[in-house]
Amino acid sequence: MVEILVYGAVTSAIYAMLAVGFTLIFGVARVLNLSHGTFYALGAYFTFTYNGLFKIPLLPAALLAIATVAAFGVLMERFLVRPLRHSALAVLMITLAVSLLIEQVLFLIFGSEYQNVQSFVSAKVVIAGVDLGGQRLLTLGVGTALIAGLWLFIQRTRLGSAILAVSQDPTAAQYMGINTNRVFSIVMAISAALAATAGVLVAPFLTVQPGMGLVPMIKAFSIVILGGLGSIPGSLLAAVVLGYSETLVGYLISSSYTELVSLVAILLALILRPAGLFGKLVAF
Amino acid sequence: MSALLEVAGLRKQFGGLLAVKDASFALAAGTVTGILGPNGAGKTTLFNLLTGFIRPDAGDIRMGGASLRGLAPHRVVGCGIARTFQIARPFHQMTALENVAVACLAPRVRREHAGRYLERARALLEQVGLAAKADRSVDVLTYGDLRHIEIARALAVSPRLLLLDEPFAGLGAGEIQPLAGLIGQLRDRGISILIIEHKLREMMRLVDRVIAMDFGEIIAEGSPAEIGRHPRVIESYLGREDPIDGAA
Amino acid sequence: MPRLGRWGIVTLALAVLGTAPYWVTSSYLLGVLILCNLYAVFASSWDFMSGQTGRENFGHALFVGAGAYTAAFLNVRFGLSPWWSLPAGGLVAVLFGLGIGLPTLRLRGPYFALATLAAATIMQRLTVIFWEQTGGEEGLSGLTPLLRSPAASYYLSLGFMLAVAAILVALASSRWGLLLRSIRGDEAAAQAAGVNTTLHKIGALLVSAFFAGVGGAFYAHYQLQVGPTLFSVVVSITVIIMSYVGGIGSVYGAVGGAFLLTLMTELLRGVGQYRLLFYTLVLMAILFFLPRGFIAPLVQRLRAGGSPS
């Protein structure tokens, strides 16, 4: 029982990080970033490279990995996405192309075998008589802290207000002197950093292979659609719903059915609530 | 004359913004009615509600006794209501002829004209003065031409009621009179017209009746002369800083 | 530059393709041409939906895989003759199309694109999860071919491709095609012109799904095996790239793009693993520099014979 609670929370935290990043860049810049899963994978791979190959200590390696991915995200947005913003579908295409490109590059460099990334916390923690991996708890803790931090940042700081303003009306925000391009870059960096952090945290206990980002990203879609495209609270709620549903299905039925849960979630979301729980309706 | 369209208690809210509040009015057949109001008064939202692009939160729209509420846009067209958009929306990468031909294929008119939809499209383009440019791609036509295509497209579905959203916006001095003339002809043919327009002079000369809106509410209804003198209407215009060209 | 005219090009191409078994020396290369034909069907069926209506399907592999696995089940599990697979594959793909199209095509926004991407990926995962029924990663093998001789198979594939292309061109040039293109032109304006956009989008998707499904079944009976990679993003994006190279919205462009890319891949045999990398770079280049594609504009210039249009 405690296991379900904690594992469900861990899964929810991972999904929340992925989903919030995805919905953030969409809500603010109207960019559906199909490379989002790739940022997740790159977080894991860069950590492996910096720590495993360059022998940098684990924590700095992880932070460096996150920073690298954030920078990559900003560059991608600036040079590949921004010129194509006039067409929502061209943006989908280019981000998908980038993700495929990266996946291929990863495959060519590292091959398809699973890589090993060291755990941050190798200690096991015992709660209520149940053995829980420290790494998983760390994931839960960091995930929660980051999202709470993000929420505070958006609500309390000037930059956060600027981000909110751009997400509501980019043109009006420009009239008020906000540099929308800079906001896009910042949001992209945050989004990529969140995804990369998720990748870094799960790398020790989930499989690290070039295609690792695709399915988590699809799950992020279903969460974001359920919670409403562009709504952070919605994504959080939906992430918890999906995370726990998967954990429950995994424990009660079979672990191979967890993907079905995502499928059902997406279809339900699309059929029942196109605007999601809290989301903004896409205007024509 | 019996009412062609009856609107009762229409209401629409977007998050914190009440865009249209308790709109009620009736349009008589064969009349030209103008909708007046500063930017943000809810005029285009009203059009979107009438044509099925947005669902009302409350209220009803009735035509010939049947309710139009909740109908999809193409169904509303099937009932005989056509519209133009505030900013011209042509079908890109298609010719002017094709743009109008699509509308000629609408279920409402398709059977009646059998296979001759292309000829009909050409005739409609001629009516708006674009016969010579029929085979040009809309992507190379002028904005004024695009406005005319909008009107031809709206006429193609044989509407009983035509909703024009700022038809004179973007037209040069030489183009306003012909369009006003066309609108008059349409009225004489029995088509009822509802116009949103900022160019007050043109509109006041064209319409039989005016509905004035402000902040989502209908604040006055009457003849052009009455509305021109109405204190609340004057206040709604003078008390605001509206951009002169009426661009939204 | 000689004036070829559109019919000139088509005739030339037909002459070359029609006589292929006689001048193509290796049976391997003939096999490549068969693949060209099949990919031409996949690409043109994708283009019919996404090029005409402008709503881009990011999971066309769903239909290809559905057709292929249907073929495998009917043939390997139930022992039916491979000729049943073709219509069955098409039908199953249509069912998948309904499943995806009905909930998502009536919505504005990116839901259709996301849902198609998700659906194909999820199917890929499901075939692995339910490995007992589907053969898992290894898939199913031991399908019987439609025709035994390579030349006969080639002509069958050519005939199939030409039939599909002809049907799609006819549909695209019809009144229905006009309505579909108006959806691409401006969907809201199309609705205002009385077009039931949701219905027509679903219709286009079902046509697209049908031919992709039949093509998938054909592919299964050519490769004689099926696997989960048939549902992969790679397949979906390959089809999209082929259509982009050919020029979105043009059936013969999609066919041309399929031939061009498939043949180029073979020429770059030595590149092997870098194939997908190359494809992806091509796509990115096209998105930036040639948004109208490469083949359709080229053909238009040949038609004009270099004279100002």
Is position C171 within any domain?
yes
- Interface residue of A100, A103, A254 to substitute, partner C, most C CBs within 10 Å: A100
- Closest chain C C-alpha to A270 CA, distance in angstroms: 6
Nearest Cα to C215, choosing from C68, C96, C99, C83? Answer: C68
For the segment C164-191, the average pLDDT, to the nearest whole number, is 95
- Closest chain A C-alpha to C112 CA, distance in angstroms: 9
Cβ <8 Å between C113 and A89? yes
pLDDT at A274: 57
Residue A123 has pLDDT above 60, yes or no: no
SS3 B95: strand
Dihedral (Cα; A150, A152, A153, A156), 10-degree rounding: 160
- Interface residue of C108, C173, C175, C300 to substitute, partner B, most B CBs within 10 Å: C175
Res. C120 pLDDT band, cuts 50 70 90: very high
d(CA A62, CA A50): 8
Dihedral (Cα; A190, A191, A195, A198), 10-degree rounding: 50
- Closest chain B C-alpha to C3 CA, distance in angstroms: 24
Res. A278 pLDDT band, cuts 50 70 90: very low
Distances (CA, A) of C32 to A53, C221, C262: 42, 15, 8
Tokens representing residue C112 in the block: 């259709």
pLDDT at B234: 81
Cβ <8 Å between A262 and C104? no
φ/ψ of A226, rounded to 5, equals -60, -45
pLDDT at B247: 37
Measured CB to CB, residues of chain B less than 8 Å from chain C are 51, 53, 72-74, 77-78, 82-83, 85, 89-94, 98-99, 101-103, 105-108, 117, 153-154, 156-157
| Weakest-pLDDT range from A53-62, B118-127, B211-220 | A53-62
| Weakest-pLDDT range from A99-113, B45-59, B90-104 | A99-113
| Weakest-pLDDT range from A228-242, B118-132, B136-150 | A228-242
- Interface residue of A96, A231, A262 to substitute, partner C, most C CBs within 10 Å: A96
pLDDT at B79: 93
Query: Which range, A146-155, A201-210, B231-240, C71-80, is most confident?
Result: C71-80
Write the pLDDT tens digit of every residue in A59-81: 888 899 999 999 999 999 999 98
Nearest to A90 among C108, C122, C287 (CB): C287
CATH number at residue C210: 1.10.3470
Is position C309 within any domain?
no
pLDDT at C308: 43
For the segment C62-85, the average pLDDT, to the nearest whole number, is 93
Domains defined for chain B, CATH in brackets: 1-80+159-248 (3.40.50.300), 95-158 (no CATH)
Strands (E), chain A: 124-127, 130-133
pLDDT at C198: 94
SS3 B9: strand
ipTM above 0.90, yes or no: no
Is position C23 within any domain?
yes
Res. A130 pLDDT band, cuts 50 70 90: low
The DSSP result for A67-117, as a single string, is HHHHHHHHHHIIIIIGGGTT-HHHHHHHHHHHHHHHHHHHHHHH-SSPB--
φ/ψ of C11, rounded to 5, equals -60, -45
Q: Do the Cβ atoms of C71 and C221 come closer than 8 Å?
A: yes
Q: Does C47 touch chain A (CB under 8 A)?
A: no
Cβ <8 Å between A104 and C125? no
Nearest to A92 among C113, C115, C129 (CB): C113
**Local structure of residue C229 (DSSP, 8 states):** G
pTM: 0.88
Residue B185 has pLDDT above 70, yes or no: yes
pLDDT at C281: 86
For the segment B23-43, the average pLDDT, to the nearest whole number, is 88
Write the pLDDT tens digit of every residue in C26-54: 888 888 999 999 999 999 999 999 999 98
Identify the helix (H) or strand (E) that includes residue C9: helix C5-18
Q: How many contacts, defined by CB atoms under 8 Å, are there between A and C? A: 98
Q: Do the Cβ atoms of C144 and C221 come closer than 8 Å?
A: yes
d(CA A77, CA A264): 32
| A141 contact partners, CB below 8 Å, separation of at least 6 | none
d(CA B61, CA B20): 14
pLDDT at A135: 75
Q: Does C199 touch chain A (CB under 8 A)?
A: no
Supply the mean pLDDT for chain A.
82
| Neighbour subunits, B (≥3 Cβ pairs < 8 A) | C
Residue B179 has pLDDT above 50, yes or no: yes
Measured between beta carbons, which residues in chain C are less than 8 angstroms from residue B89?
Answer: 186, 188-189, 192
Closest chain C residue to the Cα of A256, Cα to Cα: C129
- Interface residue of B49, B77, B91 to substitute, partner C, most C CBs within 10 Å: B91
pLDDT at C272: 66
Residue C75 has pLDDT above 50, yes or no: yes
Cβ <8 Å between A270 and C104? yes
- Interface residue of C105, C180, C182, C248 to substitute, partner B, most B CBs within 10 Å: C182
d(CA C246, CA A276): 37
Domains contained in chain C, number? 1
Measured between beta carbons, which residues in chain B are less than 8 angstroms from residue C188?
Answer: 53, 73, 85, 89
In which residue are the tokens 């709206």 written?
Answer: B154
The number of residues in chain A equals 284
- Closest chain B C-alpha to C62 CA, distance in angstroms: 29
Tokens representing residue B25 in the block: 């009015």
Is position C227 within any domain?
yes
| A69 contact partners, CB below 8 Å, separation of at least 6 | A39, A42, A43, A46, A192, A193, A195, A196, A199
- Closest chain A C-alpha to C80 CA, distance in angstroms: 30
Question: C residues 127-146 near A, CB within 8 Å?
Answer: 129
Q: Does C300 touch chain B (CB under 8 A)?
A: no
Nearest to B91 among C186, C194, C196 (CB): C186
Q: Domain range spanning residue C188?
A: 5-304
Residue C309 has pLDDT above 70, yes or no: no
Is position C288 within any domain?
yes
Measured between beta carbons, which residues in chain A are less than 8 angstroms from residue C129?
Answer: 256-257, 259
Q: Does C178 touch chain B (CB under 8 A)?
A: yes
